[in-house]
Amino acid sequence: MSTLFLSRNPRVAARALDGEMMIMSGKDSTLFTLNKTATILWQSADGTTPLEEIVEKRICAEFDVEPAEALQDAVKLAHDLAGHEILQISDSPFQQGKATGDSR
């Protein structure tokens, strides 16, 4: 499995409230509420941290889950979020300054 890098799409609006991360698409105004794992991916999507590292340091640290299984689920989730244009994904790091979405 190749390394993935995640970056927040700067075209969405995001805000956390009462522990819920809410994201609104700039394209069609659809509102998304992220679950805990998706919220971790969003908050960690700085464009330069590999997904494996996010899974190891954030997801496995928070949930009782095998690293290999967690990574497989995280890859699928990252693609889902990219499909909704919430995240951008790449097999190489994003240029510094590209991850401009609000991580709050």
Partner 1 sequence: MGFPLPQSTTAIETLHFDVVIGGIPVRVNTGDPEFLAILQNRYAGFTGDSGEPEIEFDIDLQAPKNIADDAPVEVTHRHGRWCLARGDFYAEWEPASRKGSIRQTANPYSIDAVLRIVHSLVLARQGGFLMHSASAIRNGTAFLFAGVSGAGKTTISRLAPSDATLLTDEISYVRKHDSGYIAYGTPFTGELAKLGENVSAPLGALYLLAQGKENRIDPIPPADAVRGVLANILFFAQDDDLVQSVFRSVFEFVSRVPVLRLTFMPDSRVWELIG
Window 20 to 49, contacts with partner 1 (CB under 8 A):
20, 22, 24-29, 31, 33
Residue 18 vs 64, nearer CB to partner 1:
18
Residue 1 vs 17, nearer CB to partner 1:
17
User: Smallest distance from the beta carbon of 68 to partner 1, in angstroms?
Assistant: 33
Per rule CB under 8 A, is residue 103 in the interface with partner 1?
no
Residue 72 structure tokens: 């497989």
Residue 50 structure tokens: 């590999």
Find tokens 């689920």 and name the residue: 73
- Residue 59 is classified by DSSP as I
Instruction: Please state, in angstroms and rounded to a whole number, the distance separating the CA atoms of residues 100 and 20.
Output: 20
